[in-house]
Structure 1
Amino acid sequence: MNPKSCLNCGHKISDEFCAHCGQKTDTARITLQSLIKSDILGSIWHIEARFFRTLKHVLFGPGRMAMNYISGKRTRYYNLFSLLLILFGFNVLTLHFYLNLNPDEISEGNSNILEFFSKYSKTILFVIIPMLGTNAYFIFKRIKLNIAEHFIIGTVSLLGILIIFLFNDMVSLVGLWKPAAKIFGILDKASFVLFILFPAVTYWNAFKKSYSKPGLLWRVSVLYVLMGIESLAIITVLYRVF
């Protein structure tokens, strides 16, 4: 069978996708059926399926997902940095709704704190990636990952933190309904614990086959100590500027 020409770039094609531009070779005339089935529903399903699949991997296998991404297995995952911005946007929106529905939260005692974290939340959150990446680069030297690859692991860890924050914000919103306040108060505290532990889960999941349990435990502990000291220093500097 003679190879066809790609309708997009004109190069000869003989497989499912054009090797030059990547367009599918079965591109045909647009009909109402193909418009609904392939262009609209197909594209939405493809994006949503990859989006939610990536969220699942972030929550239930963050370290393994990060190592897969680093090793080159990337098409199965939603773009990490686009996902980071989307989750951050959702966090800002849910916090905004919560404060609008619960104005008593902004009392004289904590208004300055809320204003501070609202103003510097981007700085505080996104500095987590270079802090985690740089610290882990030296602590987990045996793995032989470069600094950019450690930044990927830090990004996946931050994605998990943002998902937990988003869950926490939604729990707080539902918790405004008084009959459910006690139950959702417990969930709120549990999500805070998960937020604190998530970086440890990420690195444990990523490197558990490369270190003994005691070796991995003390390395993760050192990582937390360094992160705590650095976070305190950054917040102190920002608070003085604020």
Structure 2
Amino acid sequence: MTTKNCLNCETELAGHYCSGCGQKADTHRITFRNFISHDLLHGTFHIEKGMLFTARQALLRPGKAALDYISGKRKPYYNVFYLVLITFGLLLFVRHFWDQIPGEEIIDKKPYLNEASRKLDEIFAQKSKIIVFLFVPLAALNGFILFRKKNLNLSEHFIISGMVLAGMLLISLLGNVFFYFDLLIPFSDTFALIMSWVVTVLVIFQMGYGYFNAFASDYSKWGIACRIVLFYLLCALQILILFAFVWGWVSNWKFGTVTVSPF
């Protein structure tokens, strides 16, 4: 049904969309046919298209995609932080589902070296989402310090680090899904170990690649290489400081021996 005023906010219409709220001027009557063909299917695939496009960009050109988004090209992109949440949720589900497969060894009660080890394991298990999201502000701060030529503010660096994190989580998710082929064609222990290391290396590489992809054109080869190395070193230092703080807290600042089993 087409009217002269928007049915949502009553703004006078001058085109196919309302200038006040963005609703379509033509709001068709809901019937079973258009509910299935438009509201259900079109809505679902429109969301998936944006998610899949953003996921592909996060994997293949994370830095440039983030810069596109920052520059204002936002319509094709799904919210990168929603994508991070969805990807991380899928990653946890895939890992949990693997543990429930009959034949997989499940240890109900994990032996702990001491009480500090138990507390540390609980923190990793219960605060895994927060731990993962800590990458965003830390990487954004490092990028803000090291990559200054584009004159991006700290909030814009959050977008870059979010896109990079999405790519890292997607690689981890794909790596975990790959191991499901072990149910069809059993992997040897050696092959499984090699693939685990390959996935780990790819995740770490994706972090540097994202920033190289974003800023390589602003610096010489030597300049961008030095900044990427410094970026990794800063991230490693921040992780060590955070771990030392948590380690001290769970051990009452005695820093005794603990076991670590993240995620």
Could you state the TM-score of these two structures normalised by the residue count of structure 2?
A: 0.82
Change (3 A) 1:231 1:105: farther
How many residues matched? 240
Change (3 A) 1:174 1:117: farther
Distance (whole Å) between structure 1 residues aligned to residue 176 and residue 248 of structure 2: 27
Larger RCO, structures 1/2 (Cα 8 Å, 6+ apart):
2
Instruction: Find the counterpart in structure 1 of residue 37 from structure 2.
Output: 37
Distance (whole Å) between structure 1 residues aligned to residue 243 and residue 105 of structure 2: 25
Superposed, which structure 2 residues align to 1:1-242 within 5 Å?
4-101=4-101, 102-104=104-106, 108=111, 117-175=124-182, 179-181=186-188, 183-242=191-250
Unpaired segments ≥5 residues, structure 2: 251-263
Distance (whole Å) between structure 2 residues aligned to residue 88 and residue 179 of structure 1: 26
Q: Could you say what secondary structure the match of 1:143 adopts?
A: coil
Moved more, 3-12 or 123-132: 3-12
CA RMSD of aligned residues (A): 2.4
Shift of 1:173: 3.9
Structure having the higher helix fraction is 1
Which portions of structure 1, spanning 4 or more consecutive aligned residues, are displaced by more than 4 angstroms? 104-116, 181-185
Unpaired segments ≥5 residues, structure 1: none
Distance (whole Å) between structure 1 residues aligned to residue 182 and residue 222 of structure 2: 40
Amino acid at match of 1:70: I
Distance (whole Å) between structure 2 residues aligned to residue 176 and residue 123 of structure 1: 32
Distance (whole Å) between structure 2 residues aligned to residue 116 and residue 171 of structure 1: 28
Tell me if the contact between 1:171 and 1:184 (Cα under 8 Å) persists in the aligned partners. Answer: no
Distance (whole Å) between structure 2 residues aligned to residue 170 and residue 184 of structure 1: 13
Distance (whole Å) between structure 2 residues aligned to residue 103 and residue 241 of structure 1: 32
Shift of 1:12: 1.5
Amino acid at match of 1:217: A
Q: Percent identity?
A: 35
Q: Could you say what secondary structure the match of 1:201 adopts?
A: helix
Deviations 1:20-62 (A, max 9, x none): 1111112122222211111111101101111111101100110
Amino acid at match of 2:149: R
Change (3 A) 1:189 1:175: farther
Could you state the TM-score of these two structures normalised by the residue count of structure 1?
A: 0.89
Shift of 1:157: 1.0
Shift of 1:11: 1.7
Amino acid at match of 1:142: K
